């Protein structure tokens, strides 16, 4: 057998859910581990320190995954270190690829984010109103530091060259299994591509009217899941039923897991190949199938934040990238 | 230096683009603020194009299409109309003054209307001041 693939996994600003989806491979992970030698998996799994990675020779890691967005200076630093050590770098999951859910923070000023996190949230007990500082001196002599909070969330692709991107929040474990096999077999597309089956969520969705050779009708109703309108028929298209579902423009490597359980697609899979701005494309395709302008107006009234709706997972990677101050 | 707005215009080749031609033939006066891009139909204007123009510093974006019923591809303009309602809201959520974006139906016979729309839009943009996104992102 050929040498084992030297593998690294770095968590930056994410929740480690993507790492869970790799661990979710369960038995197949055991087979895969025959081919992988984990040289670095931090800060979550392996007992290695950042300095151990810094000490490794350049280009000594064959394959590195990063999950999470770039939120802190630490993330940026470690992503750059890993890039120089790794031959192939994969943005694993939608946070690393497009910024993820936390990317919506780009619509709020830093002060509002800090107030929510350290003052206002119900679980916070902070009577003195202390905010984290990048530097502080303890007992008058020990200087302690924390990473800097960057002025906005960025996807990994904004700070280093990324070889492959994988969508999903997190990537579906069945897809991860296929992916890891493809990687182990060296069966990869051109660098810079998304690793995807190339089908949209609608393509793999049981609710797609096309499965019954029925043409899609235009949308006349606008509903929201939170309104509790009851459950649609098993085979009824959510979009057709009035729910804003982004399955048509989202990579379907998840096998339509959300629509299967009555939840409209929110686009975590990332854009179909060839699309630069996920939200704009989503808006375009939804706009095109609304019955008329009156329905569009109702949609605007029903969904109070269109940017958060369309860019739920991709705001930092969008053309505008963040909320602009007073234009 | 006095600020002259920079408008990116997407004009349907069957109507607004012809309308702009007619405005020239009629010697209508309007400010030289618009850079017109000819598109096959207003339905060809992806919301992405508009965001791209704004992201690159355009002060305003104008989309011009055929009146309802006149679209050469039947319902391209209706789709545009729906999309632009959603888009306008999205631009506002991203911090832009929605007035920076305008959708107008201008036929090939409405040269004067084209000139009026550009003049009016220019004035409005002068009131709003320049789009500072490029400077803001560089800072
Ligand atoms: S052809 Fe002019 S808007 Fe469609």
In whole angstroms, give the CA distance from residue A245 to residue A247.
6
Instruction: Please tell me the distance in Å from A164's CA to the nearest CA on chain B.
Output: 23
Q: Is the CB of B73 under 6 A from ligand 1?
A: yes
Nearest CA in chain B to A105: B94
- Could you give the angle at the alpha carbon of A324 between the alpha carbons of A282 and B117, nearest 5°? 75
**With 70 as the cut, is the pLDDT of residue A326 above it?**
no
For chain A, how many helices (H) and strands (E)? 11, 10
Q: Match 């789709």 to its residue by tokens.
A: B79
Q: What is the pLDDT of residue A1?
A: 46
Position A232 confidence tier, pLDDT thresholds 50, 70, 90: confident
- Tell me the pLDDT band of B85, cut-offs 50, 70 and 90: very high
Q: Check pLDDT > 50 for residue A131.
A: yes
Please judge whether B87 and A283 are an interchain contact, meaning their C-beta atoms are less than 8 angstroms apart: yes
Half-sphere exposure of B50 (CA within 13 A, CB side): 32
Give distance in angstroms: CA of B108 to centre of ligand 1: 11
Reported confidence tier of residue B37, pLDDT bands at 50, 70, 90: very high
- The Cβ-side half-sphere exposure at B70, using a 13 Å CA radius, reads 16
pLDDT (mean) for B7-11: 98
Using CA atoms, how far residue A152 sits from A71, A104, A215, A321, B4, in Å, is 7, 10, 43, 9, 31
A264 or A327, which is more confident? A264
Tell me which chain A residues have a C-beta less than 8 angstroms from the C-beta of B86: 283, 286-287, 296, 299-300, 306
**Ligand 1 and B66: CB distance under 6 A:** yes
Cα B43 to ligand 1 centre (Å):
7
Apex A54 CA angle, A53 and A60, nearest 5: 65
Closest CA to A96 of A313, A321, A318: A313
pLDDT at B2 > cutoff 60: yes
A 256-285 → B contacts, CB under 8 A: 276-277, 279-281, 283-284
Mean pLDDT to the nearest integer, A142-162: 94
Do B81 and A323 count as a contact with CB atoms less than 8 A apart? no
Determine what percent of chain A is predicted with pLDDT higher than 90: 74
Label residue A255 left, alpha or beta by phi (over 0 means left) and psi (-120 to 50 means alpha): left
Burial annotation B76-110 (CB, 10 A radius, 16+ → b, else e): bbbbbbbbbbbbbbbbbbbbbbeebbbbbbbbbeb
Ligand 1 nearest-atom number relative to CA B40: 1
What's the complex ipTM?
0.92
Model confidence at A56: pLDDT above 80 = yes
CA distance A310 to B96: 16
| Nearest alpha carbon to residue A243 among A217, A221, A218 | A221
Residue to test with chain B: of A294, A308, A319, A322, most B Cβ within 10 A = A319
B9 CA → ligand 1 middle, Å: 14
pLDDT at position A327: 56
CA distances from A70 to A17, A55, A151 (A): 16, 22, 11
Q: What is the mean pLDDT of residues A129-150?
A: 92
Q: B72 CB under 6 A from ligand 1? A: yes
- A106, closest residue in chain B (CA to CA): B94
Residues in chain B: 139
Phi, psi of B9 (to 5 degrees): -115, 130
Cβ(A93)–Cβ(A166) under 8 Å? yes
Encoded tokens for A166: 């994988």
Q: Give first-to-last CA distance, chain A, whole Å.
A: 61
A245-275: per-residue pLDDT in tens? 999 999 999 999 999 999 999 999 999 988 9
pLDDT higher than 70, residue A68: yes
Distance CA A117, CA B121 (A): 42
Beta bridge partners of A146: none
What is the model's pLDDT at position A32? 81
Q: Are A277 and A313 in contact (CB under 8 A)?
A: no
B108 to chain A, closest Cα gap in Å: 24
Classified as helix, coil or strand, A190 is coil
Q: State the fold for domain A5-101+157-194.
A: Rossmann fold (3.40.50)
The distance from CA A153 to its chain's CA centroid, rounded to whole angstroms, is: 12
Identify whether the C-beta of residue B44 lies closer than 8 Å to the C-beta of residue B76: yes
Q: Is the peptide bond before A323 cis (omega within 30 degrees of 0)?
A: no
Write the CA distances from B98 to A244, A314, B62, B84, B87, integer angstroms: 23, 22, 12, 11, 9
Helix/strand/coil for A92: strand
Cα separation, A9 vs A180, whole angstroms = 13
- CA–centroid distance, B116 to ligand 1, in Å, is 20
pLDDT at B47: 96
Q: How many CB pairs under 8 A join A and B?
A: 98
- Which residues in chain A are closer than 8 Å to B131, comparing Cβ atoms? 327
Name the residue of B11, B12, B74, B106 to mutate for ligand 1: max ligand atoms within 8 A of Cβ: B12
Query: For B49, which residue in chain A has the nearest alpha carbon?
Result: A280
pTM, entire model: 0.92
Inter-chain touch A319–B89, beta carbons under 8 Å: no
CATH 3.40.50.700 domain locations along chain A? 5-101+157-194
Alpha-carbon distance A110 to A13, whole Å? 16
Per DSSP, what are the bridge partners of residue A194? Answer: A165
Residue A244 in this model has a pLDDT that exceeds 90: yes
Averaged pLDDT for residues A102-107: 96
Q: What stretch of H or E contains A143? A: strand A142-145
CA A218 – ligand 1 centroid, Å: 20
- Using alpha carbons only, what angle is made at residue B20 by residues B15 and B26, rounded to the nearest 5 degrees? 120
Nearest of A164, A148, A163, A151 to residue A77 by alpha carbon: A148
pLDDT in tens, A159-210: 999 999 999 999 998 899 888 888 888 888 999 999 999 999 999 999 999 9
The C-alpha atoms of residue A288 and residue A127 are separated, in whole angstroms, by 51
Domains belonging to chain B, first-starting first, are 7-128 (3.40.50)
Q: Where are the alpha helices (DSSP H) in B57-110?
A: 76-93
The percentage of chain B sitting over the pLDDT mark of 70, rounded to a whole number, equals 99
Mutant choice from A107, A150, A246, A280 vs B, greatest count of B C-beta within 10 A = A280
* Cβ-contact A78, A50 below 8 angstroms: yes
Please name the helix (run of DSSP H) or strand (run of DSSP E) that holds residue B9, with its range, or none.
strand B7-12
């Amino acid at each position: 057998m050929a040498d084992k693939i030297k593998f690294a996994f770095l968590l930056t600003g994410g929740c480690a859910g993507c790492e869970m989806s790799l661990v979710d491979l369960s038995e197949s992970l055991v087979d895969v581990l025959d081919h992988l030698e984990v040289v670095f998996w931090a800060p979550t799994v392996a007992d290695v320190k950042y300095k151990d990675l810094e000490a490794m020779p350049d280009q000594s890691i064959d394959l590195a995954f990063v999950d999470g967005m770039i939120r802190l200076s630490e993330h940026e630093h470690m992503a750059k270190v890993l890039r120089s050590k790794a031959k192939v770098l994969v943005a694993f999951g939608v946070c690393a690829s497009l910024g993820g859910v936390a990317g919506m923070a780009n619509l709020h000023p830093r002060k509002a984010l800090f107030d929510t996190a350290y003052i206002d949230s119900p679980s916070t007990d902070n009577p003195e109103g202390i905010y984290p500082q990048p530097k502080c001196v303890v007992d008058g002599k020990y200087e302690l530091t924390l990473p800097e909070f960057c002025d906005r969330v960025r996807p990994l692709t904004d700070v280093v060259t990324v070889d492959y991107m994988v969508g999903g929040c997190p990537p579906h474990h069945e897809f991860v299994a296929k992916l890891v096999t493809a990687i182990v077999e060296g069966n990869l597309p051109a660098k810079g591509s998304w690793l995807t089956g190339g089908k949209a969520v609608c393509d793999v969705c049981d609710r797609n009217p096309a499965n019954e050779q029925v043409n899609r009708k235009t949308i006349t109703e606008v509903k929201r899941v939170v309104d509790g309108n009851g459950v649609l028929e098993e085979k009824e298209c959510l979009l057709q039923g009035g729910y804003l579902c982004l399955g048509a423009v989202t990579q379907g490597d998840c096998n339509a897991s959300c629509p299967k359980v009555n939840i409209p697609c929110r686009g975590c899979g990332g854009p179909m190949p060839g699309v630069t701005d996920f939200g704009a494309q989503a808006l375009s395709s939804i706009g095109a199938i609304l019955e008329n302008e009156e329905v569009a107006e109702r949609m605007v009234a029903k969904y109070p934040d269109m940017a958060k709706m369309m860019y739920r997972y991709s705001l930092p990677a969008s053309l505008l990238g963040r909320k602009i101050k007073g234009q | 230096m006095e600020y002259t707005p920079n408008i990116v215009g997407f004009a349907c080749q069957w109507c607004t683009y012809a309308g702009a031609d007619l405005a020239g033939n009629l010697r209508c006066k309007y400010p030289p603020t618009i850079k017109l891009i000819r598109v096959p139909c207003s339905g060809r204007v992806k919301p992405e194009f508009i965001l791209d123009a704004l992201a690159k510093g355009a002060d305003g974006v104008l989309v011009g299409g055929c009146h309802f019923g006149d679209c050469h591809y039947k319902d391209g303009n209706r789709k545009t109309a729906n999309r632009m309602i959603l888009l306008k809201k999205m631009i506002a959520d991203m911090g832009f003054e929605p007035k920076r974006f305008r959708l107008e139906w201008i036929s090939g016979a409405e040269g004067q209307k084209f000139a009026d729309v550009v003049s009016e839009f220019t004035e409005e943009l002068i009131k709003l001041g320049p789009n500072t996104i490029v400077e803001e992102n560089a800072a």
